[in-house]
Amino acid sequence: MSLDKIFSPKSIAVIGATPRKDSLGRGLFKNVLEYQIFKKEAKIYPINPNRKKVLGKKTFSSVLNIKEDIDLAIIAVPAQIVPKVVKECCQKKVGGMIVVSAGFAEAGGKGKILQDKILSIVQKNKIPIIGPNALGIIRPPLNLNVSFSPATPKKGKIAIISQSGAIINSIIDKSLLEDYGFSTIISSGNEADLKISDFLEWLKQDKETKVITLYIEGITDGKKFLKAAKEISKTKPIIAIKVGKSEIGKKSISSHTGALAGSYEIYKAAFKKTGIFEVETIDELLDSAKVLVLQPKCKNGIGIITNGGGYGILMADYCENLGIKLAKLKRKTIEKIDKSAVMHPAWSRSNPVDILGDASPQRYRVAIEALLEQENIYGLLIIETLQIMTKPIENAKMIIEAHKKYPKKPIICCFLGGKLTASGIKLLERNKIPNFLEPKRGALAMKALIL
């Protein structure tokens, strides 16, 4: 079943669009209308039998009253009416549907019966449906926001598939203050019909998507998920966070999306089998996604360069815990640095490479180039602590230059500081070199890059 009409619609019907202030139906319709600003030929129809106009657009009392074809129908009406509306959409032969209404399997009992009812209707008609209890979908590169999210994020290369809508909203808001964006955001809701595995298959061919992130409460189609994830992770890295590991967590899942949380140990095995990178926090999910967008993947064997001994050791500890191997310095590498004339004679001569507190940009350059030249060092973690003689902007320039010379070896920076370091960090990030303000985050980001 093709999902193209859902993800690249030429016409959208918003069922339950309303002018009522602070209502979901208004927010949703407002988001959908933005699509027309950039795509003039797109048709958008508000459906509401009780209103004549919504935000200046003439309403229809039913999709059946629209003459033109409808690619995507988004449904935001009370749960009891949803089966009737879904039936009408099937009669209209829409290309696909999204049900944002809540009160289905997640509410138990009667809700589950209602959900089964809409599922049997769409299955009979072979029309794909997202939800119910979903936030909707957003595709920033197309300026398409068919959701009731409070804002549209910037466009980027990260895709999100989430079984929670609220988490998506927080991530979007957070991303607006930072320097990353999204290719596709999908809230899968209760997954009555379309599931994470279906969306993975669709994202496989989506040219805008480079990295896929998953928020998982429970998988119901295990075999299909394994097959899809294994196939797609070969070309597009998949990062996942699985919630409901604790007993209390599990309980809130069953009352949340109505999915059965499998044993966490088995999920871990499934992630391992399919090459999914598992993380524990939403920050880690975004950190690793960002770094996978910006930097190439590499073999296990990295170098640490630092102007602060303590942070070097700390970073080495984190690396060891994560299974990141620190390469041993070859004699040739040590000699090269020794002979450079700019290095302090007391430099560490081992990995982590401590170039000492008074390190100049030149010392950074010499160490970085020597390490990148060593064949079995596949990537670098570069730490900068702020001393009175430290020059963050100059150091950033050295790093950017070196990365241009060795584009296949990833560099992750930990310029540690605040106000006085900010300009250096900005320069790094503008040149697609990620910086983390905490070494542990830097180490985890490197782990995400290791093949």
Partner 1 sequence: MLLDFNQTKKILSKYKIPFCRSEVFKSKKEALKFAKIINFPVVLKIMASQVLHRTEIGGVKIGIKNKEEFKRAFDEILFSTKKKKINFEGVLVQKEMKGTEIAIGMKRDEIFGPVIMFGGGGIFIELLKDVSFGICPLKTPEIKEMIKETKIYGLLKGFRGFPKVNIEKIIKIAQNLSKLSLKDKKIKEIDLNPIICNEKEILVVDAKIII
Q: Which residues bind partner 1 (CB under 8 A)?
A: 218-220, 222-223, 226, 260, 262-263, 265-266, 268-270, 272-273
Pick 110 or 234: Cβ nearer partner 1: 234
Measured distance CA(279)–CA(277) in Å, rounded: 7
Which tokens belong to 122? Answer: 């769409």
Question: Smallest distance, Å, CB 273 to partner 1?
Answer: 5
Q: Which is nearer to partner 1, 77 or 276 (CB)?
A: 276
CB of 416 to partner 1, least distance (A): 33
Q: How far is the CB of 365 from partner 1 (least distance, A)?
A: 40
Place of tokens 């960002």: 290
Evaluate whether 139 touches 39 at the Cβ level (below 8 Å): no
**CB-hemisphere CA count at 13 Å for 273?**
12
Pick the closest to residue 198 from 254, 137, 146 (CA basis): 137
Look-up: residue for tokens 């596949």? Answer: 378
- Closer Cβ to partner 1, 158 or 261, answer by number: 261
Torsional sign, CA 46, 51, 56, 60: positive
Closer Cβ to partner 1, 10 or 224, answer by number: 224
Residue number, 202 or 267, with CB nearest to partner 1 = 267
Output the six-digit token pair for 165: 């809508």
Please state the closest distance from residue 175 (CB atom) to partner 1, in A.
31
- Of 183 and 197, CB closest to partner 1: 197
- CA–CA dist 45, 136 (Å, integer): 17
H or E element that contains 303 = strand 302-306
User: CB neighbours of 174 closer than 8 A, spacing ≥ 6?
Assistant: 286
Residue found by looking up tokens 């209602």 in the block: 114
CB of 218 to partner 1, least distance (A): 8
What is the rounded CA–CA span in Å between residue 12 and residue 312? 55
Q: What angle do CA 352, 357, 358 make, to 5 degrees?
A: 130
Closer of 148 and 267 to partner 1 (Cβ): 267
- The CB-of-193 to partner 1 minimum distance in angstroms stands at 18
**CA atoms of 330 and 333, how far apart (whole Å):** 5
Measured from the CB of residue 302, what is the shortest distance to partner 1 in angstroms? 21
Burial of 345 per CB tally in 10 Å (0-12, 13-18, 19+):
exposed
Nearest to partner 1 of 197, 374 (CB atom): 197
- As measured in angstroms, the least distance from the Cβ of 112 to partner 1 is 18
Residue 54 burial (C-beta neighbours within 10 Å; 0-12, 13-18, 19+): buried
| Helix H or strand E segment including 214 | strand 211-216
Name which of 166 and 260 has its Cβ closer to partner 1: 260
Query: Nearest distance from residue 272's CB to partner 1, in Å?
Result: 8
| Residue closer to partner 1 (CB basis): 263 or 281 | 263
Phi then psi dihedrals of residue 273, to 5 deg: -65, -35
**Residue 229 Cβ vs partner 1, minimum distance, rounded to whole Å:** 11
On the 0-12 / 13-18 / 19+ scale of CB atoms within 10 A, 49 is exposed
